[in-house]
Amino acid sequence: MSDTIFALATARGKAGIAVVRVSGPLALDAAAALGICQLPTRRGVLRKLMIGDELLDTALVLFFEAGASFTGEKAVEFQVHGSEAVVSALLQFLTGLPGLRLAEPGEFTRRALENGMLDLTQVEALADLIDAETEAQRRQAQRVLSGGLGQRAAVWRKDLVRAGALIEATIDFADEDIPVDVIPEVCDIVDRLLRSFSAEIEGSRSSERVRAGFEVAIVGAPNVGKSSLLNALVGRDVAITSAVAGTTRDVIEVRMDLGGLPVTLLDTAGLREATDEIERIGVERARERARLADLTVLLLEPGDVESDAEADIIVWGKADLAPGPNTVSGLSGQGLDWLVEEIRTRLQRRVSGSGLLIRDRHRSALMMASESMASARRSLYDINPSLELVAADLRTASHALDILVGKIGVEALLDEIFSSFCIGK
């Protein structure tokens, strides 16, 4: 029998309400120790929490039976007033009850995984949802948390089981006349799975960028107004501005929510042939970060002709002095709305093709399955196909899907994953 654990499930500090969660076989005993008996299931009731003859607090109490709670175990939640004194007294009382202990970081979620309430992709999505800073990150995490990736993996696995059964039957009865040639059906399944895997892998890079954030580099010659533009975009002074060329020596990074997308803006050193050693290093870093960025904004001086340099968006600065199309000003704010919308639109196009694979682990597992499908396809289309090799490839692909949803092969990852969760989640 597992331990009964408890923890504060809401943030510490003064608040209107605080939630203390108890999960495990002794959850109802903990409620009874506070003078609460005969709790209805999944319905909040107002009860007085008593420690002996003393009133601790009046709380909304909810009971979830095993199989219907977040963890899959019996669970009781106490929604008390968010006073530090009330919460401290309740936690201290629970600590003194036999068979109860304070939960470790992520232990509630770990029990949900172990009890089959969540698969590993949902656990990871829950962590991403908690960390979400923008609307795009929230939506993406919710898609996976709702079970989208696990459901798709179940469909893929069903097809693999069907194809594997057909191949194994053909191998087992090789000496007998099988009335139906199963190879065309297996080929159809393999081709369909390969297309589906490839589509998800292709969309995974956009999904990972939504999770980690896009990088947008502002590049241009020295003293063209890059730092002023960065300050105007983020709404505060984060970069030093000066009339002296070469003021920015290193890459300055600022993370912001741009139209619901997580974006890190990069202010880079002015691009020129530098004689100063420190500035030369800054220019080299600027060129490298611009090359690796998801989007590059090239800022030119008014009157400059369009540069041959590679850039996604070309704008002319100092619009307060020389207004015109595609011009911006970090001083007056002219053209900033246009530039923000242009950046957002271009990044949104990339997001539109994103899939359900939001972590490198997901992509690696599906790439393993895809490579196995490709190998099976080559074997099936040989003049003399080796069905034993096809069967082995199908088993490898099925194994990869089990890794994807956390059924096997991820034990070493679990401690690292759950260590990022707070106590109470």
Q: In the chain, what are the domains?
A: 4-117 (3.30.1360.120), 125-210+359-406 (1.20.120.430), 216-351 (3.40.50.300)
Among residues 139, 145, 163, 146, the alpha carbon closest in space to that of 351 is found at 139
Residues with Cβ < 8 Å from 297, sequence gap 6 or more?
Answer: 216, 217, 218, 219, 311, 312, 313, 314, 315, 339, 343
pLDDT given at position 241: 43
Residue 77 known to bind ligand:
yes
pLDDT of residue 372: 94
Residue 174 pLDDT class (50, 70, 90 cuts): low
Q: Would the annotation count 13 as a binding residue?
A: no
What integer pLDDT is reported at residue 422 of this predicted model? Answer: 75
From residue 83, alpha-carbon distances to 22, 56, 197, 288 in Å are 19, 11, 51, 51
Mean pLDDT of the chain, nearest integer: 84
Average pLDDT rounded to a whole number, residues 311-326: 80
| Residue 288 marked in a binding site | no
419 labelled ligand-binding: no
**Segment 53-61 long-range contacts (CB within 8 Å, at least 24 positions apart):** 56/86, 56/89, 56/90, 56/93, 57/81, 57/86, 57/90, 61/31, 61/36
Does the annotation flag 4 for ligand binding? no
Helix (H, G, I), strand (E, B) or coil at 21: strand
**Contact indicator for 17, 104 with CB cutoff of 8 Å:** no
pLDDT in tens, 41-53: 999 999 999 999 9
Q: How far apart are CA 99 and CA 424, in angstroms?
A: 18
CA distance 24 to 68: 13
106 is in an annotated binding site: no
Q: Binding residue per annotation — 246? A: yes
Task: Confirm or deny that 225 is annotated as ligand binding.
Answer: yes
Taking the C-alpha atoms of residue 81 and residue 369, their distance in angstroms, rounded to an integer, is: 51
Q: Find out whether 371 is annotated in a ligand binding site.
A: no
Q: For residue range 360-415, what is the model confidence (pLDDT) as tens digits? A: 889 999 999 999 999 999 998 887 778 889 999 999 999 999 999 888 766 666 67
* Residue 185, φ and ψ in degrees, nearest 5: -70, -40
pLDDT, tens digit, for every residue of 111-148?
999 999 999 999 999 989 988 888 888 988 998 999 99
pLDDT score of 316 more than 90: no
Q: Assess contact for 26 and 100: CB atoms under 8 A.
A: yes
The reply, when asked if residue 269 is annotated as ligand binding, is yes
Does the annotation list 223 as a binding residue?
Answer: yes
Residues facing 8 on adjacent strands: 20
At residue 291 the predicted structure's pLDDT band, cuts being 50, 70 and 90, is confident
Token pair listed for 403: 């890794």
| Pairing of the two strands 261-267 and 214-220 | parallel
Residue with tokens 């923890």: 7
**CA distance to 46, 271, 352, 369, per residue, from 57 (Å):** 11, 65, 50, 55
Provide Rg for the chain, Cα atoms: 29
Cα angle: 203, vertex 208, 213; to 5 degrees: 130
- The CA distance from 76 to 39, in Å, is 9
* Confidence grade of residue 65 (pLDDT, cut at 50, 70, 90): very high
Dihedral pair phi/psi, residue 371, rounded to 5°: -65, -35
Q: What is the distance in angstroms between the CA of the first residue and the CA of the last residue of the chain?
A: 21
Provide φ and ψ at 119, rounded to 5°: -95, 175
The CB-based long-range contact list for 34-42 (8 Å cut-off, 24+ gap) reads 34/78, 34/93, 36/61, 39/63, 39/76, 41/65, 41/68, 42/68
221 appears as a binding residue in the annotation: no
DSSP 195-249: HHHHHHHHHHHHHHHHHH-EEEEEEESTTSSHHHHHHHHHTS--S---SSTT---
Tell how strand 214-220 and strand 295-300 pair up: parallel
Say if residue 274 carries a ligand binding annotation: no
303 annotated as ligand-binding: no
Residue 242 marked ligand-binding: yes
Rounded (10°) angle between helices 336-351 and 183-212 = 150
* 270 has binding-site annotation: yes
Q: Residue 275, annotated ligand binder?
A: no
- Residue 234: is its pLDDT beyond 80? no
